[in-house]
Structure 1
């Protein structure tokens, strides 16, 4: 259903209409200096769209709580625990209730954490409750700052992640972000870049004017017009507004903010009574007892010594670990089993590391491997070792440990080849044939295997020699061992196509 909402007057006094359905799909960014009319614009948008779509307003100053009296929004006081905010956000999506999240009275850190918790609660709602919601964030630069400020790193991280989820991934979950900021330079670029609709108000700094003009597709000379915009006037662009930059004057609103712009008032005449009242104590102040700081009595030395002499083991014995301990031996056994299953796949050399890693994670879940998942670099290293098929007895030896250390300086894709040859030397087996090495590398070219051996030799890792019968022997000087003479693979090469043998 297509719904157009009237936000004011456009060019030549014609109504400026915003396609609400298109807005839900493409998001909106509002920019303007303090006093340019951003909050008035947001209020007009919220009032006009209230009958058509569920709304959630992140309100850092408590200006939008007056919507509750006229349009039935539920005011959620953010002075709660993060777990409570997450639960409330989930219920709001379930029951499709419009809300105003009032962050007034919280410090900057608490505001960022509370907003992040509420947005994450809406984002993580069950799929069956992914109804469309217009999520309006006033003063968005507070919740998605472009640079670190006086707030803690943790608060900035969680808040920026929640805002990024809202603008980048929220559309598929029904969340349409509408963010307003005083300065584009203060807003994180990855958050601002996801908006396709823009309403640019009055601004004075060159960097903000240039960035606003760039977003609207205007040249630098046209950017000067942002200085001359009146309060409540904006330049609109976007699929929900206009395909070309269009001046818009925001219309009137039905509700008003609790905070108002300062007005000039004449000062009263200063009389002698007023002068005396400033310094004279009133009756109520006289009745109040004078507050004097009384320091607490000092702790007796005997009590301090008794506290210090108490053993800490008593407290440690009663405390219970937050998470159950992980049996590292059992974890390694299961990981080795999973890696062996993957290494036995005959098509392993011809599958990409990303596909193999996903297969590995699935197998770990099937085997119930405890602990955190192995990351990709660790997986590649474990896979290179598993592909050699080294026995537990050989793996415990000092020679094999040196071979593993030598392989760390090689690229990840050729580490398995080096270790396969090294294992043959450690166990005194013949050097693998060229075609076997080529297949282990994911190729059918015997020349590729020869080039790998040449590369290892150039790195002073191996020395290739031949015996009296012309058979190849690979010597590992650092390991103090060498392979047995290889088995020639000329017969195998003769059966391959010419381009594969070359």
Structure 2
């Protein structure tokens, strides 16, 4: 099967074509300064070959996801997936020959490099039965194959550079044809650029880049000056897939567009008096307070909940109140207990004190609230304290009954961190940071917290998922609750 892609014109009525099979065997390097039309050229190439060969686009700016609207490319937002999921997706892409766009725009540069390396390596390591031909287009290739060390870690740079080298040097036998685009040839690793046999050179201003471009095109230094004068969308092309001698190419039109375009001048607003402008800038803001939280529906009290999950322990009955004070109604008694627990939790001096000491403090505070017989023993107090540290007071519903039953399988000192995570998961909040979990756990050591989380994961209580931006989300599968993703070292 042979196919040619109309890439543009080299003169009136003279179309320029890319031979797809030759391109798969010989690869392509596109170079040009920002605004020279590199992305437009790549888009023309992708649109022309969309129905001919599988396409995989590594897109650091997220501009090529619009190909999906017209040509059915599947957009993968890398920030939404872990490295293991990215590798699994890459393997399935090779197996099922799906054209995709890997959008990296929501990641920092080092995370982009790690993700691209994982993705390319998984495609490279696919089983031999899945070595189907595919165009692998990498925009801004100097980010993933830098010529020199930058601000990213050496490990990320080596991993990304190794994956790009495999793509360009060894990918042909596996059906992977690299099409790489860069703003600066001088910033692109030479062993990656040297593997391309086809070149499209756009407008370039720096002497060092013009010299390298001229060398690749077989031009002398005087001829290289014309590279500086190329208009937007005009390229010099050379290679077995396009032309045996350098020719000037004007890239044709495209059917899709990027999500972000070039800046355009927009008329300024009509002139106003200086005092009017100051009024617009310094007008008071809308400081309307947020609406109050919804009121919980009536549900069993926390004492009823604790009795239910006590595993057959003795049911507690309040001791007789001193004769000086009549016995409180149950509803008022529960309110006093919650108020006292709230005071203890909000007291910074009580954070790291032993539960036995806090239990004595709890009895004193209850008597100060004119509740002499609170009816809790030390075990019940520890559970109520764990609930309070997780922000759970008053009446709880059936969902929390299930959560408390699950928490009863854990050691007592782990109940508070478990409930804090469960509350965040049920309310759709971000996963608590390690510092907050350490505080409710009653320790200064975040290492202990990480070991605690690992223990719960081993027991099947938690399932952790970390995305490429480093954010962690926690799922409690037995309850079907999941937290929003957040950095584990985020300040609380």
Residue correspondence of structure 1 range 199-218 to structure 2 within 5 A: 199-218=200-219
The corresponding residue for 1:42 is: 42
Aligned twin of 2:15: 15
Structure-2 separation of matches of 1:183 and 1:299: 60
TM-score computed with the length of structure 2 as normaliser: 0.59
SS of equivalent residue, structure 1 residue 10: strand
Structure-1 separation of matches of 2:347 and 2:277: 41
Secondary structure in 1 matching 2:224: helix
Residue deviations 1:297-333 (CA, integer Å, cap 9, x gap)? 46767679x9699xx9xx89x99xxxxxxxxxxxxxx
Shift in CA distance, 93/264, structure 1 to aligned 2, threshold 3 Å:
same
From 275, 278, 281, the counterpart of 1:275: 278
Output the CA distance in 2 between the equivalents of 1:299 and 1:273.
Answer: 55
The aligned counterpart of 1:71 is 71
Secondary structure of the structure 2 residue equivalent to 1:179: strand
2:29 is aligned to 29
Task: Give the Cα–Cα distance (whole angstroms) in 1 for the partners of residues 148 and 76 of structure 2.
Answer: 29
Q: In the superposition, relative to structure 1, how do residues 247 and 13 fare at CA in structure 2: closer, same or farther (>3 Å)?
A: farther
CA distance in 2 between counterparts of 1:259 and 1:296 reads 51
Distance 1:308 1:221, change over 3 A: closer
Q: Larger deviation: 260-269 or 225-234?
A: 260-269
CA distance in 2, matches of 1:103, 1:13: 39
Q: Distance in 1 between matches of 2:104 and 2:114?
A: 10
Question: 1:57 touches 1:101 (CA, 8 Å); kept in 2?
Answer: yes
Rg comparison, structure with higher value: 1
Please say if residues 11 and 246 of structure 1, whose CA atoms lie closer than 8 Å, have aligned partners that are also in contact.
no
Structure 1 residue 267 displacement after superposition? 1.3
Q: Cα distance 1:287–1:219, how it changes in 2: closer, same or farther (>3 A)?
A: same
Matched, 1:144 2:145: yes
Question: Counterpart in 2 of 1:259?
Answer: 260
Runs of 4+ in 1 over 4 A off after TM superposition: 298-304, 306-309
**Residues 322-401 of structure 1: matches in 2 within 5 Å?**
none
User: Which residue does 1:110 correspond to in 2?
Assistant: 111
Question: 1:5 aligned to 2:5?
Answer: yes
1:148–1:296: structure 2 CA closer, same or farther, 3 Å change rule? farther
Q: Structure 2 unaligned runs (5+)?
A: 292-345, 355-438, 456-492
Listed as ranges, the matches of 1:229-308 within 5 Å are 229-271=230-272, 272-283=275-286, 285-287=287-289, 297=348
TM-score by length of 1: 0.58
Deviation at 1:2?
1.8
Residues 301 and 124 (structure 1 numbering): CA distance in 2 closer, same or farther, change over 3 Å? closer
Return the alpha-carbon distance in structure 1 between the equivalents of residues 277 and 122 of structure 2. 54
**Counterpart residue number, 2:174:** 173
Question: Which residue in the other structure is 2:424 paired with?
Answer: none
Tell me the equivalent position of 2:121: 120
User: How many angstroms apart in 2 are the aligned matches of 1:189 and 1:213?
Assistant: 15
Bigger drift between 3-12 and 263-272 goes to: 263-272
Q: Would the alpha carbon gap of residues 189 and 286 (structure 1) be closer, same or farther in structure 2, given more than 3 Å must change?
A: same
Q: Deviation at 1:10?
A: 1.4
* Structure of higher RCO (CA pairs closer than 8 Å, 6+ residues apart): 2
Structure 1 pair 269/119, CA: closer, same or farther in 2 (3 Å)? Answer: same
Conserved? CA contact 1:89–1:119, under 8 Å: yes
Q: Displacement of 1:154 after TM fit?
A: 1.3
Shift of 1:265: 1.8
The Cα shift of 1:280 comes to 1.9
1:300–1:116 distance in 2 versus 1, CA, 3 Å: same
* 8 Å contact from structure 2 (residues 28, 197) kept in 1: yes
Offset of residue 12 of structure 1: 4.8
Deviations 1:55-75 (A, max 9, x none): 000000010000000000000
2: CA distance, partners of 1:121 / 1:147: 25
Tell me, in whole angstroms, the C-alpha distance in 1 between the residues paired with 2:15 and 2:113. 37
2:399 corresponding residue in structure 1: none
Is the CA contact 2:352–2:443 (under 8 Å) kept in the aligned structure 1?
no
Judged with a 3 Å threshold, the aligned counterparts in structure 2 of structure 1 residues 195 and 274 are, in CA distance, closer, same or farther, namely same
Q: Unaligned regions of 5+ residues in structure 1, if any?
A: 290-294, 320-502
Change (3 A) 1:301 1:81: closer
User: Secondary structure of the equivalent of 1:262?
Assistant: coil
Question: Alpha carbons of 1:273 and 1:296: their partners in 2 closer, same or farther (altered >3 Å)?
Answer: farther
Q: 1:201: how far off?
A: 0.2
Q: Partner of 1:148: helix, strand, or coil?
A: coil
Residue of structure 2 equivalent to 1:470? none
Q: Give the alignment of 1:479-490 within 5 angstroms.
A: none
- The Cα RMSD (Å) is 2.5
1:269 to partner: Cα distance:
2.7
Report Cα offsets for 1:207-237 as digits up to 9, x if no partner: 0000000011100000000110000000000
Identify if the C-alpha distance between structure 1 residues 169 and 264 changes in structure 2 by more than 3 Å, giving closer, same or farther. Answer: same
Cα distance in 2 for residues equivalent to 1:299 and 1:24: 68
Residue 5 of structure 1 contacts residue 48 of structure 1 at CA under 8 Å; is this kept in 2? Answer: yes
